[in-house]
Chains A and B, each alone.
Chain A
């Protein structure tokens, strides 16, 4: 904008006054002088690291020396994890679940069953974790992720009667609020998987599957709560609500164990934690180690009995059952080990190369003259 076109007469006047009273008026002079503090003079004591080839070189070696052992450790650990995966979608006509996958209907009252047999080449020693895996299932679709009501799941009575709008179109059915509402809950994975060990002599032994401890502790105990607090009579609590459209049972019929029923059913909780990627696995059951003597799952033949309820063919999806042991790093994942070894080696290699370069040309650099 336009400049202030003004000659500061009073400033000049003021100036001369202050100059005249300069010797006597000490304080006024002091106030205008900038403080001589380290902060204001930008002279705070400072650490001034000089990153040169010399200081950086050791870092490469150190990274190399740390990463390679970690990588080897990870790689070995990952390799020691036993993992077995079986696809039971029933795409091929030859596969046992082909019929079930074809003749699927939500309304059929008689569940379709099929049995997939497989054999384990190696025994699974410690606790075995049973996962179901889905492919091409977009649990991370935004519309899907949104479609839940966390306050309803947390046992809020008001939300139970009046679920969040986000739950549409699974908010209410037949003028009754749906509990639990939303698309996530509606599409709860409802295949039942049972595992049988086939003895060499031909007898089928059902392997006991533990259904507790598959969800995050905090989810089960804090985030998900049944309405009505300690009232175990969930039928009463959920009175006036209806089941999700695709469910066969009410939410209070999920399990007989009151600790695992209603919203705090662990299968339900696991399903409600939406997966990151369209191909994912979720923990289904745990096979506890029985004793130190026998492996949890000895090598041999097994049958997986599937109650085939969950349709995936409509969106080109796949269903898998995964048996896996677990280490301190979780499930089998060779990526981390390989990545660590690679990065460590590269660092080490770079370190060597740089050392050579530094040695060869470093001296010349050091003799550089005063810059001009």
Chain B
């Protein structure tokens, strides 16, 4: 697939330069065309890896590329070729099993990908061909096709807009799934394209595909019969991007310019590289250790063998002559094959079955995430989704969380919360009950008791209704309201039609208009000259719209000048408190300020509303000035600004509004828990700084005491040249402040709510970031980056606003590759988050409103942000503990499995005689000891789910790969060595007199091996049982079942002379062993003795999680009271700033 993409990008390099030429419309292009016909890729999206035909070879190839599988393949081949102690079956069977299971799993996953691809590629679209509308599958769209898109459909490829159903040649588009901005954007048709697209005949010249969403340069040559060719320039405003959705426009026609993997959207996604978890890296490291161990063992044995054989009479005693073939073989070749034989004999030390078990654990374990009903969201009607099961344990290792804001932290749903008129507070009655308690304690005024004077109230609401740029959607319900139905509708009816009837560039404005509606004033509609509102008496008031003083981020306010029916000219202004307060009278400010500040602290977006009556003369003057400024050719912006500033003075403050981009349910609690768990949360958003900041406050990522460090365009000031210097200055300053103030070793790691010391928060914006990251490539660039990184790492939270999708990924990559390579997690819901979701170690998609892009590319998808808490704190933690234990246990159990066999070589003349029977060798990892550890790794809860949820700090116990570091590995290895030595030499001592039967008969070598093996199976299983903290019936069943199975199997295996076996080595060995009292006693002794150190450690060590259990005991036993207590602490903390 990569090749495919590459050919798309670079294919036909020699004839393609930097532009592409596209012929649109009217079938085949005329011969007059000077440009050679170019080949473009089709509109197919391919994310699957295999086809039916190449599945087997490709999958096998990929599997054997894994070092472990390749190693087993080699071992298998050695066994087939060389005369080895064990039959090829012993390693061939497990290998076959592994390969098959993995192939099935990967095949299934790829099948799902195929299904998803097909959904996209087979989506029906309508294409104009030869003037006829033809239904096609999406993948069949070719560059140059004219495509019809209906309302609420997604564009199937990048289109140049030709024709819109709207009269004004525009169409509205929401790019929520591309860059996260959910507002409607206006795109324009290419001027002068014929109304009738069927007769269109044009050539488009445009640049080669490039990932920048906001850049597009092209030219369109329109040929019309009998007229000369018209040339029109194309810009980004003509380009409709794949992935964006058509809104509020019945249908459009566009010509496809980029298709398939060449669309801007596709180019914006990096290739999804194989994500490997830290655990897998640890496994590989351990694997190398064991491989060294294996090779050295084989080497030692080979060397000793030849040393020993040099002694007199040992090489070939008379009773044991060599075969002719052995005699003929060259000595060095013999040595080499001996070495290989030893390798084969000891190869079980590297557990082939571990990979199967790990795969199965991951695959089956991920079902628990899917099944968790706590992840079920009634709104979405879905639970969690697991796209990759490879990263379950990574969820327990997260150090950095990168979260999107809109739709992730917030619901992407603006809500009018309250307003304050002349110092009196009006709550939106929808939320009255919820906030009632708060209102009484915090605010001096409640709505029922006090109200502002009615005329002021109405003025305020009128201001809300008039001072905006909202448009009413031209859909049928609104039309009805406009007409007769209007009068019949009583008062304000928040019918669903009303809810979605407004469109605006900012959702805040819609919220305000809706807020006014709930208080009785409904904005009905506007045309270019007038605005209509319906007042409380159900009367329609018409205002003549004279001027709109647009919003801009510098002024941070907007105004309208309207003329009422009574002829009064009014200026309504709304804006941020900081920009309004200086322009109104002082005494009014004080009354309002209390409310505004309180609302801002709550995380609401506050706006102040003021008005001004303009006398006729005043208005005439203003009108003239505005017109003059608008018409000026030079410095128009500055002139306009000056007029605006002049007009917006001496206003009268009427009130303030509070709008909430409602945080997701329990977002703050979640963030707090995650921070409590030692994770650092970074917010990466494409949104404005102010909004993002307030959200951060609302999520308690920034707290009142947090000192904010800003690295924004605003802080840097203007002027290209100076910026870099200023940036360096700021960086150095912040670095000094942050890094030197706090002891660097402890920063962040031990931050809890109670921790003293200054918290720092960093705000950086996209422009500054690109300055930082793209700074001159010499030494200073990396210096900037390092400084920046250090500052970031010392801050408790970082907010990055105005980010482009790829910048988000850049940030993630930067953190990922920083010192200590921390584990990162990205959460997002929109297509703009996809790149960072792919970049991070773990990508989480929120099943939000902005399509499924993020979900599809994520590793895990959850319906709401709040689920992240359980996903990380419970599932992640548990999975990590499970798999870490699984890995360590596997290495341990194979070490003590093979060590006796190694030791036995010293006593059997280094002849590679296996200690255990072939059946035991094969079955040990497959049957006897695999199920208990699998059950453990699926069901273990060393700490209960509730405790994990309640105590986020427990997450830190497993941070930094705590259970798979060299320390624990060394412990397990030592344990394995100890057990191996004990098993072998214990039985060796017993066999100093092999007459162990009460009948005086003796045991042979196979009984020796069987006794060791029995001890081994029991010890490793009971060792696991000792480690199990959560005994479900399955654990009981599997642990005791495995032991029972071992005994039954041994009975069975030894009870019959098997016709297919060449040697009946184990015939009645097991049963005879059991009839020896000494064997029983030896087995018991050695099992107890080998488990003693473990038990001793338990007795000496302060047990893990014991404290938490005590806490639980101390609390009243019922669950509700625990929750109560927790909510007490949480709320006590969350409102601590208010006292």
Q: Tell me if chain B binds chain A.
A: yes
With the chains together, A315 CA to B312 CA distance in Å? Answer: 7
- Check A187 for interface membership: any CB of B closer than 8 A: yes
State the Cβ distance, B153 to closest chain A Cβ, in Å: 6
Residues 986-1040 of B at the A interface (beta carbon under 8 Å) = 986, 988-1009, 1026, 1029-1035
Which chain A residue lies CB-closest to B1036? Answer: A47
Residues 108-133 of A at the B interface (beta carbon under 8 Å) = 127, 129, 131
Chain B residues in 8 Å Cβ range of A143:
320, 322-323, 326, 911
State the Cβ distance, B1014 to closest chain A Cβ, in Å: 15
Stretch at the interface among A92-100, A291-299, A324-332: A324-332
> Judging by beta carbons under 8 Å apart, are A46 and B373 in contact?
no
With the chains together, A336 CA to B954 CA distance in Å? Answer: 46
Which chain B residue lies CB-closest to A311? Answer: B318
State the Cβ distance, B302 to closest chain A Cβ, in Å: 14
User: A31-64 CB contact bits vs B (8 Å, 1 = yes)?
Assistant: 0111110001111111111111100110110010
Which chain B residue lies CB-closest to A18? Answer: B381
With the chains together, A365 CA to B1100 CA distance in Å? Answer: 12
> Judging by beta carbons under 8 Å apart, are A22 and B856 in contact?
no
Chain B residues in 8 Å Cβ range of A329:
996, 998, 1077-1078, 1081
> Judging by beta carbons under 8 Å apart, are A330 and B1000 in contact?
yes
Chain B residues in 8 Å Cβ range of A149:
1062
With the chains together, A329 CA to B1077 CA distance in Å? Answer: 5
A48-B1007 contact, Cβ under 8 Å, with A4-B45, A143-B320: no
> Judging by beta carbons under 8 Å apart, are B47 and A4 in contact?
yes
A330-B995 contact, Cβ under 8 Å, with A35-B371, A129-B1000: yes
- Check B1072 for interface membership: any CB of A closer than 8 A: yes
Stretch at the interface among B67-75, B164-172, B258-266, B772-780: B258-266
Chain A residues in 8 Å Cβ range of B994:
275-277, 280-281
Which chain B residue lies CB-closest to A371? Answer: B1107
State the Cβ distance, A368 to closest chain B Cβ, in Å: 5
Which residue in B313, B996, B1064 is a CB contact (below 8 Å) of A315? B313
A222-B1067 contact, Cβ under 8 Å, with A50-B1106, A164-B1062: yes
State the Cβ distance, A320 to closest chain B Cβ, in Å: 12
Chain A residues in 8 Å Cβ range of B1061:
150
- Check B934 for interface membership: any CB of A closer than 8 A: no
- Check A278 for interface membership: any CB of B closer than 8 A: yes
> Judging by beta carbons under 8 Å apart, are A347 and B945 in contact?
no
A331-B317 contact, Cβ under 8 Å, with A5-B269, A7-B831, A316-B312: no
- Check B285 for interface membership: any CB of A closer than 8 A: no
Residues 76-117 of A at the B interface (beta carbon under 8 Å) = none
Residues 1027-1082 of B at the A interface (beta carbon under 8 Å) = 1029-1035, 1057, 1061-1064, 1067-1068, 1071-1072, 1076-1078, 1081-1082
- Check B624 for interface membership: any CB of A closer than 8 A: no
State the Cβ distance, A240 to closest chain B Cβ, in Å: 23
Which residue in A34, A74, A154, A370 is a CB contact (below 8 Å) of B371? A34
Which residue in B263, B373, B754 is a CB contact (below 8 Å) of A34? B373
- Check B56 for interface membership: any CB of A closer than 8 A: no
- Check A145 for interface membership: any CB of B closer than 8 A: yes
Chain A residues in 8 Å Cβ range of B270:
3
> Judging by beta carbons under 8 Å apart, are B373 and A36 in contact?
yes
Which residue in B177, B322, B953, B1062 is a CB contact (below 8 Å) of A372? B953
- Check B120 for interface membership: any CB of A closer than 8 A: yes
> Judging by beta carbons under 8 Å apart, are A1 and B376 in contact?
no
Which chain A residue lies CB-closest to B996? Answer: A330
Chain B residues in 8 Å Cβ range of A318:
none
Which residue in B1002, B1068, B1098 is a CB contact (below 8 Å) of A51? B1098
- Check B853 for interface membership: any CB of A closer than 8 A: yes
Chain B residues in 8 Å Cβ range of A147:
320
> Judging by beta carbons under 8 Å apart, are B1098 and A7 in contact?
no
Chain A residues in 8 Å Cβ range of B1085:
67, 336, 339-340, 343
State the Cβ distance, A52 to closest chain B Cβ, in Å: 5
A6-B909 contact, Cβ under 8 Å, with A52-B1106, A330-B998: no
- Check B1102 for interface membership: any CB of A closer than 8 A: yes
State the Cβ distance, A347 to closest chain B Cβ, in Å: 7
> Judging by beta carbons under 8 Å apart, are B1067 and A223 in contact?
yes
Chain A residues in 8 Å Cβ range of B88:
none
Q: Which of A29, A52, A214 has the most CB of B within 10 A?
A: A52
With the chains together, A371 CA to B955 CA distance in Å? Answer: 12
State the Cβ distance, A78 to closest chain B Cβ, in Å: 9
With the chains together, A350 CA to B113 CA distance in Å? Answer: 59
Q: Which of A45, A140, A169 has the most CB of B within 10 A?
A: A140
With the chains together, A46 CA to B1089 CA distance in Å? Answer: 28
- Check A306 for interface membership: any CB of B closer than 8 A: no
- Check A333 for interface membership: any CB of B closer than 8 A: yes
Stretch at the interface among B95-103, B663-671, B1108-1116: B1108-1116
> Judging by beta carbons under 8 Å apart, are A3 and B269 in contact?
yes
With the chains together, A137 CA to B996 CA distance in Å? Answer: 20
> Judging by beta carbons under 8 Å apart, are A6 and B1068 in contact?
no
- Check B908 for interface membership: any CB of A closer than 8 A: yes
- Check B741 for interface membership: any CB of A closer than 8 A: no
- Check B347 for interface membership: any CB of A closer than 8 A: no
> Judging by beta carbons under 8 Å apart, are A6 and B856 in contact?
yes
Chain A residues in 8 Å Cβ range of B320:
138, 141, 143-144, 147, 183, 187
- Check B314 for interface membership: any CB of A closer than 8 A: yes
Chain B residues in 8 Å Cβ range of A53:
1098-1100
With the chains together, A35 CA to B951 CA distance in Å? Answer: 27
State the Cβ distance, B1125 to closest chain A Cβ, in Å: 11
Chain B residues in 8 Å Cβ range of A141:
320, 908-909, 911, 913
> Judging by beta carbons under 8 Å apart, are B381 and A335 in contact?
no
Chain B residues in 8 Å Cβ range of A366:
1110
> Judging by beta carbons under 8 Å apart, are A3 and B856 in contact?
yes
Which chain B residue lies CB-closest to A31? Answer: B381
Stretch at the interface among A8-16, A173-181, A192-200, A249-257: A8-16
With the chains together, A145 CA to B851 CA distance in Å? Answer: 69
Chain A residues in 8 Å Cβ range of B321:
169, 183
> Judging by beta carbons under 8 Å apart, are B1088 and A333 in contact?
no
Chain B residues in 8 Å Cβ range of A10:
119, 123
Chain B residues in 8 Å Cβ range of A215:
1001
> Judging by beta carbons under 8 Å apart, are A5 and B177 in contact?
no
Q: Which of A4, A9, A137, A314 has the most CB of B within 10 A?
A: A4
With the chains together, A277 CA to B85 CA distance in Å? Answer: 18
Chain B residues in 8 Å Cβ range of A328:
998, 1077
Q: What are some 21 contacts across the A-B interface (CB < 8 A)?
A: A1-B49, A2-B46, A3-B834, A5-B266, A6-B243, A7-B243, A7-B851, A34-B370, A46-B1031, A46-B1032, A48-B1031, A52-B1103, A218-B1067, A218-B1071, A222-B1068, A276-B1005, A316-B312, A326-B1000, A329-B1077, A354-B1099, A372-B752
Q: With A283-B1000, A371-B1108 given, can you name 13 additional A-B contacts, CB distance below 8 Å? A: A2-B2, A2-B271, A32-B383, A42-B368, A46-B941, A53-B1099, A67-B1085, A141-B911, A144-B911, A277-B988, A282-B1002, A328-B1077, A340-B1085
- Listed in ascending order, the chain B residues whose CB lies under 8 Å from chain A are 1-2, 5, 45-47, 49, 85, 113, 116-117, 119-120, 123, 152-154, 177, 242-243, 245, 261, 263, 265-266, 268-272, 312-314, 317-324, 326, 367-368, 370-373, 375-376, 381-383, 752, 754, 831, 834, 838, 851-853, 856-857, 907-909, 911-913, 939, 941, 944-945, 951, 953-954, 986, 988-1009, 1026, 1029-1035, 1057, 1061-1064, 1067-1068, 1071-1072, 1076-1078, 1081-1082, 1085, 1088-1089, 1092, 1095-1096, 1098-1100, 1102-1103, 1106-1111
Q: What are the 10 tightest A-B residue pairs by CB atom distance, in nearest-first order?
A: A187-B319, A331-B995, A4-B47, A276-B1008, A8-B852, A40-B371, A142-B911, A315-B313, A6-B120, A129-B1000
- Listed in ascending order, the chain A residues whose CB lies under 8 Å from chain B are 1-13, 18-19, 22, 29, 32-36, 40-53, 56-57, 59-60, 63, 67, 70, 74, 127, 129, 131, 137-151, 154, 164, 166, 168-169, 183, 186-187, 213-216, 218-219, 222-223, 270, 273-278, 280-283, 286, 311, 314-316, 324, 326-333, 335-336, 339-340, 343, 346-347, 350, 354, 357-358, 365-366, 368-372
